[in-house]
């Protein structure tokens, strides 16, 4: 079911600006949503979450807040995280207590991460690589299983005999729905799905992914399939990224590949993502791939493009296909007309909004 279709009421968007540059870039995403859909199209509700809230109150994500978020139509997320040197914030508290908590609670099984190399954007790749063809692919990362479950534990902690385990949990149910989503997307794109795994070593999980992939592929005879071990996939991202259309992979491999994908297509400053629950039973969450960048926070220096592109994915998820396309086009036009002149965060947001006004 399309989460917004036929609804006459004003959809509510939760806004979690977060820490560092998070609130700065999210403000521009809100600006652009208002420019393209009208000031009254959404009611925005701000949520104060992140490192600052934790330091002030000791709270990461109270159950009452999670319940409120569940009542929203979608979530715009900025970035969270204290400064890297800040030892008062134990590693993992926000990641697991906030970001992963929401992804798991709202069953965001499709973690959608498009990558595109825009014309004229500086890339770390040589022209011998970028000349091979246009780079435009999407990684469909599983978002609710694998090594991200938190399964595992520690025996004899802190001793010379400590044993620590992490358990990757993969289910036919979980793999099937995300693989099917990838094939569906491929039919609307260039018709190719690449499975990335490491089934020569991870035989249990790899066997499951392989089997389900082949079964789903049988339902899509028009879609071309490919398989790469994760190590080989990183090689191709660096040497021939044009070969990819849709990539489907597990939670951890997806995490690794999408950061590399962002790097080779001009940096995480341009990388958007959606944590999507396609059923619409819970709200989906849209966030730039970048972090809170405490080093440049408060200076309105951050590029809000990734946050704005994420808002575009939000519109698409809500069924506002034309407005989504307009946002993508406006951001593309802005990015491709950049000449290196520095602009502030709101200047970039204004310029993109103006193209939509």
Ligand X SMILES: CC(C)[C@H](C(=O)O)[C@@H](O)C(=O)O
For ligand X, the binding residues (CB under 6 A) are: 95, 99-100, 200-201, 231, 255
Distance CA 63, CA 239 (A): 46
The residues annotated with a catalytic role in the active site are 148, 198, 231, 255, 259
192-197 β-sheet, strand order: 43-46, 12-18, 74-79, 284-288, 272-276, 110-116, 136-142, 246-249, 192-197, 224-229
Stretch that binds a second copy, among 44-52, 163-171, 276-284, 327-335 (CB under 8 A): 163-171
What's the Cα-to-Cα distance from 126 to each of 122, 123, 238, 239, 319, rounded to whole Å?
10, 8, 10, 9, 38
Kind and range of the H or E element at 69?
Answer: helix 63-70
Stretch that binds a second copy, among 17-25, 41-49, 62-70, 146-154 (CB under 8 A): 146-154
Task: Give the residue with the Cβ less far from ligand X, 11 or 291.
Answer: 291
Task: Give the residue with the Cβ less far from ligand X, 41 or 256.
Answer: 256
* Among the listed residues 164, 183, 113, 167, the one whose alpha carbon sits nearest the alpha carbon of residue 143: 113
Query: Strand pairing partners for 197?
Result: 229
The answer to whether 159 and 271 are in contact (CB under 8 A) is: no
Q: How many CB atoms lie within 10 A of CB 347?
A: 14
Residue 234 interaction partner, one of ligand X, a second copy, none, beta carbon < 5-8 Å per kind: a second copy
Distance CA 192, CA 255 (A): 21
Q: In the range 78-137, which residues lie near a second copy by CB under 8 A?
A: 91-92, 95-96, 100, 122-129
* Among the listed residues 215, 300, 294, the one whose alpha carbon sits nearest the alpha carbon of residue 20: 294
Residue nearest to ligand X (CB): 95
Task: Give the residue with the Cβ less far from a second copy, 163 or 325.
Answer: 163
Give least dist CB 201 to ligand X, A: 5
SS3 at position 195: strand
Please select the residue that binds a second copy; options are 162, 281, 322, 336, rule is CB under 8 A. 162
Residue 260 interaction partner, one of ligand X, a second copy, none, beta carbon < 5-8 Å per kind: a second copy
Q: How many CB atoms lie within 10 A of CB 10?
A: 11
> Does position 283 bind a second copy by CB under 8 A?
no
Q: In the range 184-213, which residues lie near a second copy by CB under 8 A?
A: 198-208, 210-211
Please select the residue that binds a second copy; options are 5, 67, 235, 325, rule is CB under 8 A. 235
Please select the residue that binds a second copy; options are 5, 154, 325, 329, rule is CB under 8 A. 154
Site residues (vs a second copy, CB under 8 A): 91-92, 95-96, 100, 122-129, 147-148, 150, 152-154, 156-173, 176, 198-208, 210-211, 230-232, 234-235, 237-239, 252, 255-256, 258-260, 262-264, 267-268
């Amino acid at each position: 079911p399309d989460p917004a279709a036929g609804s006459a009421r004003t959809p509510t968007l939760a806004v979690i600006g977060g820490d560092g540059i998070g609130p700065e870039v999210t403000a521009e995403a809100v600006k652009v949503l208002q420019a393209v859909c009208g000031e009254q199209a959404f009611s925005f509700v701000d949520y104060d979450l992140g490192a600052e809230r934790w330091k002030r109150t000791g709270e990461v994500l109270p159950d009452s807040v999670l319940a409120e978020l569940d009542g929203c139509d979608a979530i715009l997320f900025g970035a969270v995280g204290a400064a890297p040197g800040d030892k008062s914030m134990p590693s993992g508290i926000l990641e697991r207590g906030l970001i992963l908590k929401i992804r798991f609670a709202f069953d965001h099984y499709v973690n959608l991460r498009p990558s595109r190399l825009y014309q004229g954007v500086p890339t770390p790749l040589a022209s011998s690589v970028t000349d091979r063809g246009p780079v435009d692919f999407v990684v469909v990362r599983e978002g609710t299983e694998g090594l991200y479950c938190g399964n595992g534990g520690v025996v004899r902690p802190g001793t010379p005999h400590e044993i620590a385990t992490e358990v990757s949990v993969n289910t036919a149910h979980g793999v099937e729905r995300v693989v099917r989503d990838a094939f569906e997307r491929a039919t609307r794109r260039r018709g190719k799905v690449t499975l990335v795994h490491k089934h020569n070593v991870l035989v249990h999980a790899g066997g499951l992914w392989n089997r389900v992939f082949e079964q789903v592929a049988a339902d899509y005879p028009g879609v071309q399939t490919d398989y790469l071990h994760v190590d080989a996939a990183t090689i191709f991202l660096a040497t021939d990224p044009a070969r990819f259309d849709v990539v489907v992979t597990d939670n951890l491999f997806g995490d690794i590949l999408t950061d590399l994908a962002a790097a080779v297509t001009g940096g995480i400053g341009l990388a958007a993502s959606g944590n999507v629950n396609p059923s619409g039973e819970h709200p989906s969450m849209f966030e730039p791939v970048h972090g809170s960048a405490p080093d440049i926070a408060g200076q309105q220096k951050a590029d809000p493009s990734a946050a704005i592109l994420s808002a575009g994915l939000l519109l698409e998820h809500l069924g506002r296909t034309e407005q989504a396309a307009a946002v993508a086009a406006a951001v593309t036009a802005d990015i491709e007309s950049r000449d290196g002149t520095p602009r502030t965060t709101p200047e970039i947001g204004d310029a993109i909004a103006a193209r939509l006004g």
